[in-house]
Structure 1
Amino acid sequence: MLFAGRRAALRVQLWVLIVLLYSGQVTGSVLDDVIYKRGEYKENCTRFLKATFPTGTGIFCNGTFDVFACWPHSSPGIVSVPCPPYLPWITEGATGNVYKECTVNGTWKTEENSSTIWRNQSECENHYFFKSEEEEVFRQSVLRVLSIVGYSLSFSSLCLAVLIMSLLRKLHCTRNYIHMNLFVSFIFRAIAVIIKEIGWNSYTKSTASKVSLEYFVGCNYFWLLVEAIFLHTLLFTAVLTRKRLLKKYMILGWGTPLLFVIPWTVAKTLYENKRYVPVLLLIDTLKRCFVIFCIFLKIIRLLLSKLKADQVKFTDYRYSLARATLVLIPLLGVHAIVFTFIIDESVEGSSRYARNVVSLTLSSFQGLLVAVLYCFANGEVRLVKIFEL
């Protein structure tokens, strides 16, 4: 049982190496090097066993490559061979050995009450070699689960919000059409992230998936910008019934992100893994956040002045809309600006993990917050639902 546990630990270490490769924590060359060296070791073992096959009579155990190490044709007794050099923690000049026992019957000794061949590989193990990587794998798993849960809740709540606003005809107006488009942009974003997280490898590795995700993230910002612009206009105009404005808002919300995404896509295609793409992405994010924050500050000043002059009452729907928008803009904007500067390269260890947890929590639950503020907690929606029921 002890040796079985040790072999299991070794398999876990190799599994961790593979997982780290596919999760982007180690480069492909590390695993490629292990695979190449193991294949070379196996080929050399096969040639060695053919060349040294005993020609005389006598009892001996047949040599073999048992997936882990190369064992020569051996007489009865304890047999030892050096630790396989393909293991990444085995350095040149290492003195460790792995052991088997050849019985007097000419067979390799098996473990007690088992058909598994006994092997002592304790000298070839290093339980701490992948310790930091194992912790990183666990952290990445936690972040992945958090992401899926957050975006799933956002997706379901947003779909329900869209359904409610679509069915309640008394809510059909420019203001709520803007809300619904904001919901839809978050829905598409949630779908793109969930597909990426559940592991559609062929999809997630394609440029199309990355481009679509960037586009929907951009749409989130620009529909939030539309919310701010509409509120700004509404505070200046007591009655706003011109539906033609909705077409302009549609172009701004769904069309403008293309002006950022298309150059980003071209730059990513031409300069993949080079410094230009992060710089372009940083400039893109800062531009969007800066514009939204400028409008945010102007809305605050205007709203305070109107409240002070009693031009807007606390029971006015414009006040409710302003309150919801003024909650969203700083929350989403501060999140975007702060975590644009606090990149992975600037923090390490637990600080990076904490940063990722906070950032991912805010990002994944944004859709749920939007649905609550603009639909579920919206007094107008609740009143219409009660009236129609």
Structure 2
Amino acid sequence: MLLGLTVKYGGPPLRVTCNSTWDGLTCWPPTPAGRVVHMSCFPELRGIPYDTTENATKLCQLNGTWARKADYSHCRPVDKNSSVDGISRHWEQHLENAKLLQDIGHAISLFCLVFAFALFAYLKSIRCTRNNIHWNLVATFILRNTSWFITQEVLTVEAVRDKSWYCRAVVTLNNYFTSTNFFWMFVEGLYLHIMVADAFNSERFNLGVYAMVGWCMPVPIIVAWVLVKVLVQDEGCWVGSNYYDYIFHGPIILILLVNFIILGNVVRILVLKLRANPENPESAHYSIKAAKATVVLLPLLGITYVLFMVHPSGQGTSRLVFIYFNSFFQSFQGTFVSIIYCFTNAEIRNAVKRRIHLSRCRQQDFV
């Protein structure tokens, strides 16, 4: 093993050390110059467990700087037929099932979203502020799901270790599309609240204002995050959970809380309006109607994410239930939005029927 380098400055020798650093996979501790550090391999990457009994290594060079790359060649996925570091085959299978569920959910959602987007684009007769907002929300889901698949392919151990520019670009775009998705959920909540609370002034804002909120407001947030990553924590592929990510996670959490409040107020207003008409036979079922409205609005406003903001730790049953439900709701949310606000939308279905009827009439006239 190499000896640490010392520098004399007229007093006791000062040992040169490499500062602690995070490369996107491992936190390397402060190390004297000339030493090779051995750290346990990361436990998980992209939902796949890795063998933590093996070690990754990184050299602290004689000048007090870390080597450009760490050696992760010994870090390998856990063998399905063995139990390593307390992770049982049963638990490994659940993790793989959850990953498969996410792949299937995002694929089905992407298919439904593209079809819904095409319907919104084709049916010009339904164009209004409400449906245009739905259209933009569907577009953000398409971009978010697409970037999710690209990220899964790009985010490899080699890309993270080599600090690849394309890996960072993909992560940045994924964060931007995720942010725009949540900002358009906020636009949906804002417009819904205006419609319910003050229907006569529902058109006080035109679509341009909503577009500024949905597409433009995330830009300075992501730019600030990129600058912090470049100037303060320029490590790895800019992945991994740390407090710098709250630059864009913070506004998303705030949007979810605001939409949660909006949902509660909308349901309250609906209940009050139904109760205000006791002669109406439907008023007797106001609680059922309010419950249905709440369930329908959950995916539109992203409230399902609030249910999974705090997750259990460990490898117990509660953790497994959380993983499956979280994977299901996050990956199939685009499907829910497409079905509720496009495929089962009476206005869109009637417009499609009119188009089909008009097409048949033209064919008969031509014959």
TM-score range, shorter chain: 0.5 to 0.7
Report the CA distance shift for 1:267/1:132 in structure 2 as closer, same or farther (over 3 A): same
Partner of 1:30 in structure 2? 54
Aligned partners of 2:291, 2:269: CA distance in 1, in Å?
Answer: 13
User: Is the Cα–Cα contact under 8 Å of residues 48 and 95 in structure 2 kept in the other structure?
Assistant: no
Moved more, 294-303 or 145-154: 294-303
Instruction: Give the aligned residue type for 2:309.
Output: T
Q: Deviations over 1:344-370 (max 9, x none)?
A: xx3434433321111110000000000
Report the CA distance shift for 1:137/1:171 in structure 2 as closer, same or farther (over 3 A): same
Q: Deviations over 1:70-107 (max 9, x none)?
A: xxxxxxxxxxxxxxxx9x9xxxxxxxxxxxxxxxxxxx
Q: Deviations over 1:304-359 (max 9, x none)?
A: 3334446xx98xxxxxxx9997435445644322322226xx34344333211111
Alpha-carbon offset, residue 28 of structure 1: 8.5
Q: Is residue 175 of structure 2 the alignment partner of residue 214 of structure 1?
A: yes
Alignment counterpart, residue 191 of structure 1, candidates 146, 171, 190: 146
Structure with max Cα Rg: 1
Partner of 2:327 in structure 1? 360
Instruction: Give the aligned residue type for 1:167.
Output: Y
% identity of equivalent residues? 25
Instruction: Give the aligned residue type for 2:54.
Output: V
Alpha-carbon offset, residue 241 of structure 1: 5.5
Instruction: Give the aligned residue type for 1:294.
Output: I
Q: Is residue 124 of structure 2 the alignment partner of residue 169 of structure 1?
A: yes
Alpha-carbon offset, residue 382 of structure 1: 1.0
Determine helix, strand or coil for the equivalent of 2:309: helix
User: Is the Cα–Cα contact under 8 Å of residues 194 and 201 in structure 2 kept in the other structure?
Assistant: no
Q: Deviations over 1:134-176 (max 9, x none)?
A: 5554333222211111011111111111111211121111111
Aligned partners of 1:215, 1:199: CA distance in 2, in Å?
Answer: 17
Report the CA distance shift for 1:23/1:359 in structure 2 as closer, same or farther (over 3 A): closer
Report the CA distance shift for 1:203/1:237 in structure 2 as closer, same or farther (over 3 A): farther
Partner of 1:95 in structure 2? none
Alignment of 1:123-162 (within 5 A): 128-129=83-84, 132=87, 134-162=89-117
Instruction: Give the aligned residue type for 2:98.
Output: L
- Flag structure 1 segments of 5+ consecutive residues without an equivalent: 1-16, 34-85, 89-125, 315-321
Alpha-carbon offset, residue 254 of structure 1: 1.1
Q: Is residue 300 of structure 2 the alignment partner of residue 327 of structure 1?
A: no
Q: Is residue 310 of structure 2 the alignment partner of residue 341 of structure 1?
A: yes
Aligned partners of 1:372, 1:188: CA distance in 2, in Å?
Answer: 18
Over aligned residues, Cα RMSD in angstroms? 3.8
- Flag structure 2 segments of 5+ consecutive residues without an equivalent: 1-40, 58-73, 283-289, 357-367
Q: Deviations over 1:268-327 (max 9, x none)?
A: 4534657423655653332111211222222222233334446xx98xxxxxxx999743
Q: Is residue 199 of structure 2 the alignment partner of residue 237 of structure 1?
A: yes
Report the CA distance shift for 1:198/1:353 in structure 2 as closer, same or farther (over 3 A): farther
Partner of 2:341 in structure 1? 374
Select the structure with the greater relative contact order (CA < 8 A; seq sep ≥ 6): 2
Alpha-carbon offset, residue 130 of structure 1: 6.6
Alpha-carbon offset, residue 211 of structure 1: 2.2
User: Is the Cα–Cα contact under 8 Å of residues 222 and 288 in structure 1 kept in the other structure?
Assistant: yes
Report the CA distance shift for 1:177/1:366 in structure 2 as closer, same or farther (over 3 A): same
Aligned partners of 2:134, 2:223: CA distance in 1, in Å?
Answer: 26
Determine helix, strand or coil for the equivalent of 1:339: coil
Partner of 2:14 in structure 1? none
Partner of 1:98 in structure 2? none
Aligned partners of 1:212, 1:192: CA distance in 2, in Å?
Answer: 7
Aligned partners of 1:301, 1:21: CA distance in 2, in Å?
Answer: 44
Aligned partners of 1:267, 1:27: CA distance in 2, in Å?
Answer: 32
Report the CA distance shift for 1:295/1:22 in structure 2 as closer, same or farther (over 3 A): closer
User: Is the Cα–Cα contact under 8 Å of residues 150 and 170 in structure 2 kept in the other structure?
Assistant: no
User: Is the Cα–Cα contact under 8 Å of residues 168 and 385 in structure 1 kept in the other structure?
Assistant: yes
User: Is the Cα–Cα contact under 8 Å of residues 154 and 368 in structure 1 kept in the other structure?
Assistant: yes
User: Is the Cα–Cα contact under 8 Å of residues 228 and 325 in structure 1 kept in the other structure?
Assistant: no
Aligned partners of 2:245, 2:155: CA distance in 1, in Å?
Answer: 25
Q: Is residue 267 of structure 2 the alignment partner of residue 304 of structure 1?
A: no
Instruction: Give the aligned residue type for 1:179.
Output: H
Aligned partners of 2:291, 2:134: CA distance in 1, in Å?
Answer: 14
Alignment counterpart, residue 260 of structure 1, candidates 208, 221, 245: 221
Aligned partners of 1:266, 1:166: CA distance in 2, in Å?
Answer: 37
**TM-score (structure 2 length as normaliser):** 0.62
Instruction: Give the aligned residue type for 1:300.
Output: V
Determine helix, strand or coil for the equivalent of 1:177: helix
Aligned partners of 2:177, 2:223: CA distance in 1, in Å?
Answer: 13
Instruction: Give the aligned residue type for 1:342.
Output: H
Aligned partners of 2:53, 2:227: CA distance in 1, in Å?
Answer: 28
Query: If each structure's helix is expressed as a fraction of its own residues, which one has the higher value?
Result: 1
**TM-score (structure 1 length as normaliser):** 0.59
Partner of 1:388 in structure 2? 355
Partner of 2:210 in structure 1? 249
User: Is the Cα–Cα contact under 8 Å of residues 191 and 202 in structure 2 kept in the other structure?
Assistant: no
**Count of matched residue pairs:** 271
